[in-house]
Chain A
Amino acid sequence: MKSLLITAAAAIGFALPAAAQSGEPIKIGAVLSASGPASFLGEPEKKTIELYVDRINEDGGLLGRPVELIVYDSGGDANQARTFATRLVEDDGIVAMVGGSTTGTTMAMAPIFDDYEIPLMSLAGAVVIIDPVQPFVFKTPHTDKMACEKIFEDIEKRGLSKVALISGTDGFGKSMREQCLGVVGDYGIEIVADESYGPKDSDMTPQLTNIKNTAGLEAIVNPGFGQGPAIVTRNAAQLGIDVPFYQSHGVASKSFIELAGDAAEGVRLPASALLVAELLPDDDPQKDVVVDYKTTYEAETGEPVSTFGGHAYDGLMLVFDAIKRANSTDPVAIRDALEETKDFIGTGGVVNMTPDDHLGLDLSAFRMLEIQNGDWTLVD
């Protein structure tokens, strides 16, 4: 019952100079939603973290010590996550933590890590995790607010200003809609229509007809997740709406193009560089990192890479990087080193953290993509 996934053990004694693996293991904890409704987040995250802890141990570990990973599955339940978090800091004695997968589990665990002064590297999206800043709480994924800004920036660049919103009423769509309405004032953009649809609706023609009949309509933005946005895209094409159409990073996967079919042509969306790893120019700072992660993950797991796994890669590597620079496994020293992270290149972007910015990404982390001939192309 002591600990479950001692990934470190396997590496010891294999093809390694014995000296490299001497010393107490460095314990890193992870509470992920590997099962349950959020398993599409937790599963690739868990695989990624296990894979890269194995790899660092094969390479001689960290500071000459092996890394021991302790993973618990919260099933997406906040209460359960908090119990596991207590266990990690109290019983397992971790020095840093990567996870949770969802905003709810992260927010439930955060107070424990602030109490025990151990850094928490969240893999969840919402901006509330890092704003206001909590001393020991960090996160890797870009926020939906940044997605809104990226989209509005692009709309402005095209000289358009009258925008319609059509949002899903799921957690993702609702949160992003609010963020978009919050930042729209910073741009020369006016929201002329604001429609919504349920996550299980199968026809959005009525909402889109309202939008189509809105005077002066110049662009449509669809904050949403899952199947909804594909249906919205199809319906918009059926209604012959031909203004520029923007989707969110929430549907940045090949399955969206498959579901939306020809209607997806010309749709733009912000996404992380990982999605277009091969398309990046060779001088792109992220090129090497994203191509390496993508090929490694796909070769080891046999599954297509996802941005969620990428967030976990970034989180784990940021923690490793901080431990190396701190040259210490003292949690407070790791936290201090994390705050000094400069020009760290991850799959999500180039990270520059400060004591006031525990995310460290700017808008360049997002790439604006356009769908052409059933595939992604880079706009900028």
Chain B
Amino acid sequence: MAARFGAALILALVVVAVWFLADSNFVLRVATLVFIYGLAAIGLNILVGDAGQVSLGHAGFLGIGAYAVAIGPASLGLHPLLALVAGVLLAGVLALVIGRPILRLRGFALAVATLGLGILIAMVINNEAWLTGGPDGMRVGRLELFGWRARGTDTWYWIAAAALIFGAIVASSLKASPTGRALRAVHDSEVAAMVAGIDVARYKSAAFVISAVYAAIAGGLLALYDGFVTPDVAGYLTSIEIITMVVLGGMGSVLGAVVGAVILTALPQMLTAFAEYEHMVLGLIMMAVMIGLRAGIVPSLAALFGGVLRRVR
């Protein structure tokens, strides 16, 4: 039980606590963004932390989800929710088709291939201006359900929180399942995993598809929340941000991915006091964390304090 719901329980407590402590919509907005990016990071962590494969192009899937909820209702007249499902399916199918050939690559070659995939998706979004509005971006219609319109930060706070907690439960369950064990076996040694009877290619591909689905859902939520989307969401910098969240927070740790999202989303807001030196200070903090807590924040601290934390990671 602890393994499956521990992380989700902690997240739920934090969500409620932040709701009562937050004194403005600005704080709630930052928290909402943390939840949405956290969801993408949890997904990517399944690929990176559990299966040991790198992806520098996951913002591409974020972009597919985001533009699906923008284009679906505007051009095809789809309900936003249906458009989100379509975007998630599209991201999943693309990950399945592309994943098979490129996951044969390893290490740097895989990093470059996924980077290329992300850049390609961003280029399509940038260039097909008739459909996507090009570099200037496009408006996203409000999400409406049975006459109830999802708008305002206080509403989206709970929608994003629910998605994050659900995502955490799924990721933790996956970890505790035979599939999770198979993925970790692939991570440790592909040859040994193969000898043990694990279909390595299939499991890698599954992890890639799952992480793409997480990213697409996060992208769709982000676009629906903001009501506006630009190609930045699919850009290379966003990819780097999500993978940094995973590595910084802790590879293979569900809570770690969320902690990474907190650092990369909330910290820049606190560092604005440094004005021009903001990026430098952010970089320094990240370097210090990586030097001091090598396995990532959550796993390193869990190892330090042992006990409860280790169980829930």
Contacts from A to B (Cβ < 8 Å): 1-2, 4-5, 35, 72-73, 76-79, 82-83, 86-87, 90-91, 102-104, 107-108, 111, 126, 128, 169-171, 174-175
Contact = CB atoms under 8 A, between A and B. Distances in A.
Given A86-B26, A111-B228, A174-B129, A4 B136 contact: no
A175 B269 contact: no
B80 to A, nearest CB: 16
B137 interface: yes
Interface of B: 24-26, 29-30, 33, 126-127, 129, 134-137, 139, 153, 222, 226-230, 232-233, 237, 269-270, 272-273, 275, 278-279
A111 B153 CA distance: 13
A171 B275 CA distance: 29
Contacts of B30: 83
A73 B273 CA distance: 12
Contacts of B24: 90-91
Contact of B136 (A79, A86, A87, A171): A171
A174 B133 CA distance: 11
A175 B226 contact: no
Nearest to B129: A174
B26 A91 contact: yes
Contact of A108 (B134, B135, B228): B228
Given A90-B24, A91-B26, A111-B228, A79 B33 contact: yes
B134 A72 contact: no
B226 A79 contact: yes
A167 to B, nearest CB: 12
Contacts of B272: 1, 4, 72
A82 B126 CA distance: 20
Contacts of A90: 24-26
Contact of A107 (B126, B136, B232): B136
Contacts of B139: 107
Contacts of A79: 33, 222, 226, 230, 232-233
B228 A175 contact: no
B interface secondary structure, majority? helix
A159 B270 CA distance: 60
For A76, A108, A170, the residue with the greatest tally of chain B CB atoms inside 10 Å of its CB is: A108
B136 A103 contact: yes
A104 B127 contact: no
A228 to B, nearest CB: 15
Nearest to A92: B26
B230 A78 contact: yes
Contacts of B226: 78-79, 82, 108
14 contacts: A1-B272, A72-B272, A77-B237, A83-B30, A83-B33, A86-B29, A103-B136, A104-B230, A104-B232, A107-B139, A108-B137, A111-B228, A128-B136, A171-B136
B136 A76 contact: no
Nearest to B30: A83
B134 A174 contact: yes
A102 B137 CA distance: 11
B222 A175 contact: no
A86 B227 CA distance: 14
Nearest to A169: B127
A90 B135 CA distance: 28
B232 A76 contact: yes
B134 A4 contact: no
A103 B232 CA distance: 13
A107 B229 CA distance: 9
A107 B25 contact: no
A18 to B, nearest CB: 28
A287 B229 CA distance: 40
A111 B25 CA distance: 15
Nearest to B37: A79
